[in-house]
A and B are shown apart, each in its own frame.
Chain A
Amino acid sequence: MNKIRMEHGSGGRSTGELIEQIFAKAFSNEILSAMEDAAVVEGTPRIAVTTDSFVVTPLEFPGGDIGRLSICGTVNDLLMRGAVPKYITCGFILQEGADTVQLKRLVNSMAKTAKEAGVQIIAGDTKVVEGNGGIFINTTGVGFVPEAIDISSANGRAGDVILVSGSLGDHHAAILSSRMGIKNTITSDNAPLTDMVKKLLDENIQIRTLRDVTRGGLATVLKELAVSSGMQFEIEEGALPINLQVWDFCGLLGLDPLYMGNEGKLIALAAKEDARKALEIMRSAEYGENAAIIGEVMEPETESERGRLILKTRIGGRRVLDILQGEGLPRIC
C-alpha cells in the first residue's frame, strides 16, 4: 500500500486497513478505540466550538506540516475565547494517488501536536475522491470555558496595551519560500499556544481580547479588533518583532510583513496595570520568547478615529492601516 486508491474510501476491507494501519495507530485513545458511530464524552456548562479546514500546499514545509497545522489552527481558535481545549474531531479528504508513507507522517505529526496541545482526538472520518494526490484535513475542536471568563474581540478599552507573542509573518514567508523554491532558513511558526494562554489566565491577568494572527496578518487582525471595540489603536513600527530574514524576504518580493500570516502567534489586549506582568508571562511561556508590547488602545476623539488603526513609523510618520486588500502578489519592479 503506497498510494491511496479509490477503494480506500469504499468502507470495506481497504478502508479498514487504512484506518487500522495509519489513523488508529497514531490517535489511539479509549474513546476513539471504541469505534462507535459517535464519541460520548464528559462535558461542562459552557463550551467553545470551532471548525477549520486545511488545504495548504506543500503538505510539508520548513517547521511544520498540514497535520500539525490542522491541530494548531483549531486549538488556537478555542484558546482565543479563553477556553481550555479538550477534544478534536478530524475529517480527511484524500485524493487518489496520495502517498501513504507521507500520510502516515502527517497523521503522526497530528497525534504528536494534539498531545502537546493537551487535546484528545475523539472522532474521525476519511473520504477518497478522484484527483491528483492531494490531502485536505478538517478539524473541529471543543473546549471548556471557565465560568468567569469573558474574552471577546469587542472588549478593548481605552488605555489597554496591545501585545504580540512573537515575530510576524514567519509561516507565510516559509510557505511562500517553499512554493517559489527560494532557499533560506525561515521556518513556519505553527504551534499550539495552550501553555501561554493557560499561564496568562492562571495568573489572573486582565485579558480583554485574544486573537491569533493568521491570514491577513497583524494589520488586518488589529483593524478588525479596532472596529469591533470602537476604539482607535496605535502601534509602534519600531516595537514590532520581525525576524530579519523574513524582513529581507518581504523586501525582495515587495510584501509587507504587517499583512503576512502566522500560525502560532497571538495578539492580546490587556489592562494597562497588568502589561509588564503579561509580557513576562508570555516571554516565559512556550513559543513566546519574542513577545512584545507594540501599542495601545485609545479613546477616539472624533468619529473618524473610531475603529482606526495607526502605525507610528520609525522616522516619526503616521500611517493609517486598513485590512489586507487583494492577494499580496509580488510586484513588477
Chain B
Amino acid sequence: MVEKILKFFNSLKLTVVLLAVGLVLVFIGTLAQVDEGLYQAQTRYFKSWFISNPTILGAKVPILFPGGYLIGTFLLVNLIVTHVTRFPFTKKKIGIHLIHGGIVLLLLGQLFTDALSTESAIRFAEGDSRNYSEDFHASELVVIDTSKPDQDRVVAIPDGLLRGGKEIRHSDLPVILRVREYWPNSWLLDSPTNNSVHLSVSQGLGSGLHLLPLKPTVSTEQRNIPSAILELVTPQGPLGTWLVSSQTARKQEFTYQNKTYELAMRFKRYYKPFNLRLLKFTHDRYRGTDIPKNFASRVKVQRPGTGEDREVEISMNKPLRYNGETYYQAGFDEHNDERERKITILQVVSNPSWLTPYFSCVLVALGMIVQFATHLIGFARRRSA
C-alpha cells in the first residue's frame, strides 16, 4: 500500500498535471473575483480543499474542482517524495537539494501564512487609546464576566458556531446559550419593510424592532452583520431571550448567581499587551485639490508591562513593526474635515512566517548558483584535462 502511494507521488507526470491544474485554478479563481468578490473567491478557490460548482467565465459549472490546499499539498508531497527517492544526498547534488528545499519552504511558508496570519484594523480618533484591533470579516459572540474590578473575563464564540440552531455549552460559560435564530447578514430597522422579520425578545434591546435578513455579502466593500436571538438557559430555568447583533455596540447585561455578565455580538477582536494612543492625524493634500499628498498618524505606544512609552509616526510608506505585527496607515474617516477629533484607520497585519518567502528565494538562488557552478567547474575541468 505504502509502495503504491509512494509510486503515485513519485511521478513527474503528476507534477505536470498538478502544475496544469494549478494554472487553471489561478485562472478561474482570478476571474471568479469578478462575480464572487475578492475575499470570497480567495477563500473558496485558494483556501479550500475542493470547490463545488466553481464559477467559470461567469457561469456556475456543476463540477467538483480541486482547491488550492489540495493542489498545494499534493505538489508538496510530490516534490518531497520525488526528491527523496530520486536525489540521494551527494556533494554533487547540493544545488538540487537547495533548490528543492527552497521550493518546499515556499509551499510550507504559504501554508503557515494562511494558517497563522491575521489582518485586522484599528479605527480610533485623536486622544483615543486601543489595546485591540478588529477583524475585517469575522464577528464573535462574547459573554463577559465583569465582576472583577480590574479585569474582564471574556468567552468569545465565533459567530459561525451559532449556525444551525445549536446549543452552546462551555465550562467557562455561566449559562447555556440556545440559538433560537441566526442571520449571517442582517440589518436592523425601526419600522417594517419588505421581507423584514418582526423581532420579539423578552430581554434587552430588540423587542419590537424589525430585522431584514440579507444575503451574506462577498464584496470587499461591505461586511456581514450577523444577528441572533439567544435564549439563556440555567439549571434553574431560562433567563429570557436576547437579540445580539454586530450592528449595535450597545451593551446588554444579564445577572446570574449575583454576577453581572455582558452579552454582545461584535467584530472579532485581537487584544495586544500594549496600548496605542492616537496623538494626531495629519492629512496633507496637494494645494487646491482633494488629492491626498500624505497622511500620517502620530501614535504613542504604551506598554504597562515593560514601562515602554514612546511616540511613533505611522505614514503611508512607513509602517510600524512592533510585537510581531505591522501597523500600516490604511485610511481615515471620510468626514474628518467636519470632526474636531480626526479619525485614523490602521491596518494590522500579523504574519509569523513572513520571512519564509525571502529565505525560500535565497535558497533557490543559492541552489542555482551552486548547481551551475558545479556543472561549469566540471565542464571546465573536463575540457582542460
Mutual binders A and B: no
Question: What residues of chain A have their CB less than 8 Å away from a CB belonging to chain B?
Answer: none
Question: What residues of chain B have their CB less than 8 Å away from a CB belonging to chain A?
Answer: none
